[in-house]
Structure 1
Amino acid sequence: MTKAKKSLVCWALLSPFLLVVLFPYATMLSTSLKQKDEIFTFNRTWLPRELYLGNFAELLFEKGFGRALANSLAISIGATVLSLAVAIPAAYALTRMRVPAKGALTNYLLITQMISPIVLIVGLFRMFAYFGLVNSLLSVIIAHSAFFMAFAVWMLQSYFATIPKDLEEAAWIDGAGRFSAFVRVFLPLCLPGIVVTAIFTFVNSWNEYAMSLTLLRQVSQQTAPVQIAFLTGTLYQIEWHLIMAATLLASVPVAIVFASIQRYLIGGMALGGVK
């Protein structure tokens, strides 16, 4: 069987699953392009009578959803960068150096992932209130990075273990120090794993709701998930046209991130299986 035929067979087998995955996005797009009175009708149609962009304009300019998207983007990027800045050297130390009670520490990192943020939300609020960081995006960035850091260390440690130590030792023999070998030899080989960890950290931070709702009290500081939740109670009714438009806009940044670094994602998910 030729490569083209194999590709055609694979697409034919995966097409039902592709429809299931794309159906929610198609529903969001169809509903967000309809006017409010067109949604609740007995003779509903899949396509809108006319393309109506007023829902997006109302969201961005009247509801302030554009600012919420910017807040979510700033928080997610900040939390991802801060988590990786701590997780990369921590995972490297657990993989390459002698760390006392390494097994207990890795188990502790795994156990922390079983704790829900809701359990600690009151303590977090009181701590950030003491330092005057309530209503600050920095407080959410710190909180997100603290919760997602253990996951990042766990992910990176499993990937770093697949990198042969002989490559670093060869760099040491050539005169490179540990830090130089780490930056110039080790990190480029670990780029797929780092990208995958960054993606999961970014998505978890982007979708987080409870801590953002608790620590950000002003409307101008709200994130996209919080504003989408508030749309369900607007004027004692669910405004599906706005909710679908907001959900579609909130899904676009994550889709762009996945599409732009797809090749790193595929390589990183293999976790070094071909090395």
Structure 2
Amino acid sequence: MNPKLKRSLWAWLALSPFVVIILFPFAVMFFTALKPAEEVFSFPTRWLPVQWRWQNFIDMWHGANFGPALKNSVIVSMASTALTLAASVPAAYALARFPFRGRGHYRQFLLVTQMLSPILLVLGLFKMAANISWDGANLVDSHFGVIVAYAAFNIAFAVWMLSSYFATIPRDLEEAAWLEGCGQGRAALRVFLPLATPAIAVSFIFTFINAWNEFAVVYTLIRSPENKTLTVQIVDMVAGQYTVEWQLVMAATLCATIPVAVLFAWLQRFLVGGLALGSVK
């Protein structure tokens, strides 16, 4: 047997218990989502449904207003991620390339800010959003307010993470571009940024997942049903309900995890490259 294939088999064999533990909740969600209502609480418990009811996904899509909520989550997550990267990439570049007094303490301050949970600030954030006018109205029940809040919470961590990676990119490459006639801005765009793609992709993944899964801020700021995101919409299927249709809740939860899983699978090569290359000076 090929030694490389043999090592891979042994590695997968060693990791198989962890794979089972990680995939077990998703298997429970999937099989519960396919059960009729009468089988969800059947005793004794059956892991596999007797009758596979794919209609649950259609009922969930229409009954839980899943489509508009999915659209809102995509808009809010993508916009807040784009705003975060637009602010953090130049800031991290400046932090990595231009030394100044207290730079080390400033980087530590960025990390310390992550110790504050957003739930501690939601009351003040709500008052601020209610007092800020945007297009003739305040930022309560506005996607723009949620996008700005998400970006504000994620910029510090993105700057801290990006600056650590940017510091590993040799400055000599930019200086060589300067000798060829490139200005500093052009050298940063054409030489530096392509080398920083893995780190930017890693920051994109973390920021997008944080925005996609966030609940406290969007639950506080969003009021109307048409503006709710998936996290709030799924909670509304359980909270305050006399009877909970768990098969529909599991179907909605499973569908809500698919976009993040697809994005992570698509960008995982950048994630591995960013984590590996960022540790080498």
What is the correspondence of 1:1-275 to structure 2 with a 5 Å cutoff? 2-130=3-131, 131=133, 132-233=138-239, 235-274=241-280
1:17 positional shift? 0.8
CA contact (8 A) 2:83 2:151 kept: yes
Distance 1:274 1:113 in 2: 25
Query: TM (normalized to structure 2)?
Result: 0.94
CA contact (8 A) 1:68 1:221 kept: yes
Distance 2:274 2:249 in 1: 34
Distance 2:34 2:179 in 1: 63
Distance 2:15 2:99 in 1: 46
Distance 1:119 1:4 in 2: 50
Aligned with 1:261: secondary structure? helix
1:99–1:59 CA distance, 2 compared to 1 (3 A): farther
1:102 positional shift? 1.7
1:227 positional shift? 1.4
1:229 positional shift? 1.4
Q: Which moved more, 1:247-256 or 1:93-102?
A: 93-102
CA contact (8 A) 1:71 1:221 kept: yes
1:54 positional shift? 2.4
**Number of residues of Structure 1 aligned to a counterpart in Structure 2:** 275
Aligned AA (1:47): L
Deviations 1:27-69 (A, max 9, x none): 1100001111111111332222232122221221122012111
% identical aligned pairs:
51
Aligned AA (2:251): A
CA contact (8 A) 2:77 2:208 kept: yes
CA contact (8 A) 1:93 1:99 kept: no
1:262 positional shift? 1.6
1:274 positional shift? 5.0
Deviations 1:179-235 (A, max 9, x none): 111111101111011101110000011110011001101111111111111222353
CA contact (8 A) 1:193 1:271 kept: no
| Alignment gaps of 5+ in structure 2 | none
Query: TM (normalized to structure 1)?
Result: 0.96
Distance 1:79 1:195 in 2: 15
